[in-house]
Homo-oligomer: A and B are copies of this chain.
């Protein structure tokens, strides 16, 4: 199904448009084959979440914004799928709060890093990634590449749609890690300090609308395991009570 065939009134318009973008960015060389399969996994979990931000999503988003604004040097890490799905919303958040963005990819290649950096530059945001001379210890050579003034020096890193290994390696470096992952059971979700169980585009759009002066106190009270368990209970309850009109 291509874009022109999807009416805006379609109940799953956003979801279908996201899939369309993934495919476009695959052809641009920004998204990989395994990124397409990962997106399908995300779609399944988003479907189980009702394809909207839930209270446990919003809470983690509030805590994340407060944490980022209290950090010395926060960085948002972006990979191919994140670029395809949430480029505009990330640019808005990065500009509003002056947060650095760095391209970081699982299947590393200089060409793909440059495509991501150039994509953001063409949309008006300079991001890091072309000079990854440092390494995240514990990750295989190329996968660990990062910039000295970017993720390497960051105190807080936001890692959307990221592999569990990278989250664990960043934590071992002493960084505060905020994961964005639709699967509350993933290793990333469990390894992060704060896990936002939400779609990556919705997450940054929500963060943009938050009042930065509120929610500062919520950091201290926040319990990530408890919040993840609420996400799992939500999905479990939904499976038990879902009406038959919904479809994937």
Contact = CB atoms under 8 A, between A and B. Distances in A.
A244 to B, nearest CB: 6
Chain copies in the assembled complex: 2
A190 B37 CA distance: 24
B41 A36 contact: no
A164 B239 CA distance: 19
A10 B129 CA distance: 33
Interface residues of A, number: 36
Contacts of A239: 185, 232-233, 235-236, 239
Interface stretch (A42-50, A56-64, A149-157): A42-50
A213 interface: no
29 contacts: A19-B37, A23-B34, A33-B36, A36-B40, A37-B37, A37-B39, A37-B43, A39-B40, A41-B43, A41-B44, A42-B44, A44-B44, A44-B183, A164-B247, A183-B248, A185-B239, A185-B242, A185-B248, A186-B247, A186-B248, A187-B247, A187-B248, A232-B242, A233-B240, A235-B239, A236-B236, A236-B237, A236-B239, A239-B239
